[in-house]
A and B are shown apart, each in its own frame.
Chain A
Amino acid sequence: MNYGNWILDLLLALPLVVALVILLGPAPAAKRVALIGALLEFACSVPLWWMFETGTAAMQFGISHAWIPGWGVTFTLGLDGISLFMVLLTTFTMPLAVLGSWNYIKERERAYYALLLVLTTGMLGVFVALDLFVFYVFWEIMLIPMYFIIGVWGGKRRLYAAIKFFLFTFVGSLLMLVAILTMYYMVGNASGTYSFDYAHLLAHIGAVDRWAFWLFGAFFLAFAIKVPMFPFHTWLPDAHVEAPTAGSVILAGILLKMGTYGFLRFAVPFFPDVAFDPTVSTAIVVLAVIGIIYGALVAMVQPDFKKLVAYSSISHLGFVMLGIWALSVESVEGAIMIMINHGISTGALFFLAGMLYERTHTREIAAYGGIAKVVPALAAVLTLVSLSSIGLPGTNGFVGEFLVLVGSFGAYPWATVVATTGVIFAAAYLLRALQRMIYNALDKPELEQLPDLSKREFAVLLPLIACILWMGLYPAPFLRRMEASAQALVEQVRGPATGGSIELRVPAEVVQ
């Protein structure tokens, strides 16, 4: 059988099967089974990297099953240069998440690891769904495992954080549901075929022109909450801080990307005229820039390391939004790069925060100091990861932010200038925290006995470090795979590069 014909089905089904095995098996074996399952999942997904055909923006590995024919719902899946990376990021992160929970989760292990795997299916489903009904189902389904992971295994304020996380996402998604249905009927009336199929809706999207603004608004709200963009971000610090380590890693590494992915896949291609209407786009870019600066400033004053990382996410995701809305091939590629980078670097930061917490049971930056002398390896890794998060050349962070800033300057010079200061702020908050935590004087006696990284912790961190360096030093394989899709997105909105039929506020030189 041809790999491409069944791989996406397998990727969605395998975690569910493993979750069932975990629930039925004995409790002590749960984490081992989960690890094997997650590794198997990753192994299955790796060939996607080579099998993926570069140079085309078409959907690949397409699969379609009938589901609810009466409503025009088909279980359609597929990958392009954007979702490929999101899928690989997910399958790459999950084994690490399991390994990172190894000692942290002590009670109800079976349920925990089963939920992690169900969550994997939910997230992968969001990234590969090409039917809006299927997309919506996965988009909601993944709320439940995350809600339980935060609410059952989280920190002190876990209940509050869990329900806030749930409600924020739920509000946005229900309006999106109404929007999806409206599109379904308007397109159906115009084309004669009632279907939730992505390609079908996209092909006849002209039928919804009259309501495009409101429909875009509904999608925007759902995705902006998830990203999160500036005024909708308040659930994020609570959820990230209260979640157990693996939960934070998944939240930051993958869940936030669903928002930006949603913009790239749905909101922008469906409603380009609204999204790039001068007023709307200015508003969004302003919000993105506010997010960059605000996230960085708030991160700077956090006494809690995990919270600092959480706020830095808001800042990073602001860059992604800026990159998408600048809409040049470079900026969109940069946005996708940041989505990957952020998953890796911030994921690593959350892992490190979790490792420190397991040692000292505090997340206060002030409670540390000078630990580089005691735990040199941990300190070195933390430094490297922080530098990548800041965007030091040679690390992955640099590539993405550079591309976004270069690509955006033509369209929004002022916004880009302001956003660039965000990079400086990032250096300020992370380096200051580093200094206070691992350098300075070792003045707290209880820190002198800290154990350094264990083998298991190395196993978690090494793949992440490898990715940081690989993407920083040789990003070409990544860029090559996403180029066609980024190009297609830009052309779809702006018309073919030569024509430039859609009038935009963007100066002509950027279009080339």
Chain B
Amino acid sequence: MIPATLDLSHWGGLTLALGPEVVLSVWTLVLTLVAAWRTDEEGHRAVGRLALIGLVVTLGTIVYYWRAAPQAAGIDTMIALDGFRWATSAVFVIGAILAVMLSLSYLGREGIRVPEYYVLILLATLGMMFMGGGADLVVIFIGLELMSISVYVLAGINRRSIFAAEASLKYFLLGAFASGFLLYGIALLYGATGSTNLTLIYVQISSLGLQSDVMLRAGIAMLMIGFAFKVAAVPFHMWTPDVYDGAPTPVTAFMAAAVKAAAFAAFVRILVQALAPAADVWTDALFWLAVVTMVVGNIIALAQRHLKRMLAYSSIGHAGYLLAALASGPGLGSAAMLYYVLVYTLMTVGAFAVLAVMGRDGERQTAIEDFNGLGSRRPWLAFAMTVFMLSLLGFPGTAGFIGKWYILSAAVEAQYGMLAVVLAGASVLSAGYYLPVIMAMYMKPAMSDTSHTDLEVFGATRYVIGVTAVLLLVLGVWPNRALEIAREQGRDLQPDVMVTVSR
């Protein structure tokens, strides 16, 4: 069906190359119209189901493209055609599917009746796919804005909650600020190299020897600050806890998992495909960013009593692990990042799903003590939560362990022994807040005779929790296939120049 090579300079080839994105955009636009006439509860859920179908179809398209593996006839202009794009797109769509499934019952329970909610999730996913696949800084930026603006609205979708309003406003202001940095960085890079195409930037830097060019360095610095905001790296993380805390829990899960994954995908692509010749400019910065993020995120998480905030800080810690993978360089580092992003999406969404079941009123007040005695009242729910916590901790038998091992081995291979030691130390710190959850569930008596008896786990949420928990265990014991994919696509992500030359 798809020709083996696509001419990206021609509109036909470019449209074909954008297959999954086209499918999703069309579906989203149609869904916007559908949503406009559905205001009742039932119609609302119908929109959700349609969104789900759209995402599944998109996932199917992505897999189809992945298997067909079309190649660009020249260099990648505007959009990349490589395994990394398909792999990351698949992760974003899976994250979105899980988030929509969580939302189906959650929105009804919390009385949030805005059918456009699902449209926004689809739009954000579309933006992410452009971020993971863009071969041009402008495409990546547009994707980022599409994603960000949708998520700003999603964060504040619960109009009756002042915390949601705070979250939305804060996210918007700081996000806009970060976008400014990013755009400024792109402008400077354009000024220094005369191009916004990743491959051309690579060529210009290496052929003109721009490594010590001030404008280029300033551009890279701005770009890194912008992305550091988006991935919530310390010291650019201040918005994270309030935003994650205030947003509806499925949106938080979506932000913590997919949004972060998208920012990482774009970040790693830019670093590897465009800025690799200037690696000595950004490697050290990334190294220290990773170290500080891991340590600070985990230390602050230790002090949290409310689970939602704790998970927010723990997600900062995990951003640190991903940065460590990034700092360990292309190849093994990218592969480790890819694997960890998938695993991280599964375990984060799973943990937030359990939280959504446990909590009320946006879950802001759900403390760790509220889990007391869950083990005897709801053994399966408690078991799933144990799996998520152990996986987040990186304990053997779960996928989190394999992911962490992969990142550690990338760091050791890159001879960043110190990074590996810090990562290990940060993991020990994280045991200090993941274990108390397990402890509360199994080792403390329930607060009262009636606690946990009225918990309702709705159908879709049940699937989310069950599937993520089982997948984490399977990927923890038998990770071979996923590792292979991560390794191939990680290797696939290399400067396009080399691909073209070798071809």
Which residues of A does B touch, CB under 8 Å?
68-71, 108, 136-137, 140-141, 144, 147-148, 151-152, 158-159, 162-163, 166-167, 170-171, 174-175, 177-178, 181-182, 184-185
Contact = CB atoms under 8 A, between A and B. Distances in A.
A137 B443 contact: no
Contacts of B395: 140, 144
B396 A178 contact: no
Contacts of B417: 178, 182
B415 to A, nearest CB: 9
Contacts of A159: 439, 443-444
B483 A148 contact: no
A70 B484 contact: yes
Nearest to A68: B480
B72 interface: no
Contacts of A70: 480, 483-484, 487
Given A140-B401, A178-B424, A184-B412, 13 more contacts: A70-B483, A136-B396, A141-B397, A144-B395, A148-B443, A162-B443, A170-B428, A170-B431, A174-B424, A174-B427, A175-B421, A178-B408, A178-B421
A140 B390 CA distance: 11
Contacts of B421: 175, 178
A282 B409 CA distance: 34
A184 B332 CA distance: 15
B483 A68 contact: yes
Contacts of B479: 68
A160 to B, nearest CB: 10
A108 B412 CA distance: 44
A433 to B, nearest CB: 31
Given A68-B480, A174-B427, A166 B435 contact: yes
Contacts of A137: 396-397, 401
B420 A178 contact: yes
A177 B428 contact: no
A140 B409 contact: no
Contacts, number: 77
B327 to A, nearest CB: 16
A69 to B, nearest CB: 7
Contacts of A68: 479-480, 483
Q: Which 10 residue pairs are nearest across A and B when measured between Cβ atoms?
A: A174-B424, A137-B396, A151-B443, A181-B412, A140-B396, A178-B420, A181-B409, A171-B428, A70-B483, A185-B413
B443 A158 contact: yes
B236 interface: no
A320 to B, nearest CB: 27
B376 interface: yes
Interface string B356-390: 00000000000000000000100000000000001
A141 B408 contact: no
B117 interface: no
Contact of B390 (A69, A144, A174, A185): A144
Interface residues of B, number: 31
Given A141-B396, A174-B425, A185 B439 contact: no
Interface string B432-472: 10011001001110000000000000000000000000000
A113 to B, nearest CB: 16
Contacts of A141: 396-397
A123 to B, nearest CB: 14
Contacts of A147: 435
Contacts of B376: 108
A167 B432 CA distance: 8
Contact of B439 (A108, A151, A171, A178): A151
B190 interface: no
Contacts of A171: 428
A70 to B, nearest CB: 5
A177 B408 contact: yes
Contacts of A178: 408, 412, 417, 420-421, 424
Nearest to B406: A71
Contacts of A174: 424-425, 427-428
17 contacts: A68-B479, A68-B480, A70-B480, A137-B397, A140-B396, A140-B401, A141-B396, A141-B397, A152-B442, A152-B443, A159-B444, A166-B431, A174-B424, A174-B425, A175-B421, A177-B424, A178-B421
A221 to B, nearest CB: 11
Interface of B: 376, 390, 395-397, 401, 405, 408-409, 412-413, 417, 420-421, 424-425, 427-428, 431-432, 435-436, 439, 442-444, 479-480, 483-484, 487
A182 B443 CA distance: 37
Contact of A185 (B409, B428, B431, B436): B409
A175 B408 CA distance: 11
A167 B431 contact: yes
Nearest to B481: A70
Contacts of B436: 163
A68 B413 CA distance: 18
A148 B420 contact: no
B426 to A, nearest CB: 9
Given A69-B480, A144-B395, A151-B443, A175 B424 contact: yes
Nearest to A172: B428
A166 B439 CA distance: 12
Nearest to A181: B412
A321 B93 CA distance: 55
B379 to A, nearest CB: 9
Contacts of A185: 409, 412-413
Nearest to A176: B424
A232 to B, nearest CB: 15
A162 B436 CA distance: 11
Given A70-B484, A163-B435, A178-B417, A148 B412 contact: no
A185 B412 CA distance: 8
Nearest to B408: A181
Nearest to B421: A178
B357 to A, nearest CB: 22
Looking at B376, B395, B443, B484, the one whose CB has the most chain A CB atoms below 10 A away is B443
Nearest to A175: B424
Nearest to B443: A151
Contacts of B409: 71, 181, 184-185
A70 B443 CA distance: 39
B291 to A, nearest CB: 15
Contacts of A163: 435-436, 439
B432 to A, nearest CB: 7
B480 A167 contact: no
A205 B432 CA distance: 35
A256 to B, nearest CB: 21
Nearest to B404: A177
Looking at B412, B431, B432, B484, the one whose CB has the most chain A CB atoms below 10 A away is B412
A162 B376 CA distance: 19
A137 B483 CA distance: 18
B340 to A, nearest CB: 15
Contacts of A69: 480
B428 A182 contact: no
A136 B420 CA distance: 16
A138 to B, nearest CB: 8
Nearest to B431: A170
A143 to B, nearest CB: 8
Nearest to B420: A178
Looking at B408, B424, B432, the one whose CB has the most chain A CB atoms below 10 A away is B424
A178 B390 CA distance: 19
B147 to A, nearest CB: 33
A238 B421 CA distance: 28
Nearest to A186: B412
B154 to A, nearest CB: 37
Contacts of A184: 409, 412
Nearest to A138: B396
Nearest to A139: B396
A182 B412 contact: yes
Looking at A68, A151, A170, A178, the one whose CB has the most chain B CB atoms below 10 A away is A178
A4 to B, nearest CB: 26
B403 to A, nearest CB: 13
Nearest to A182: B412
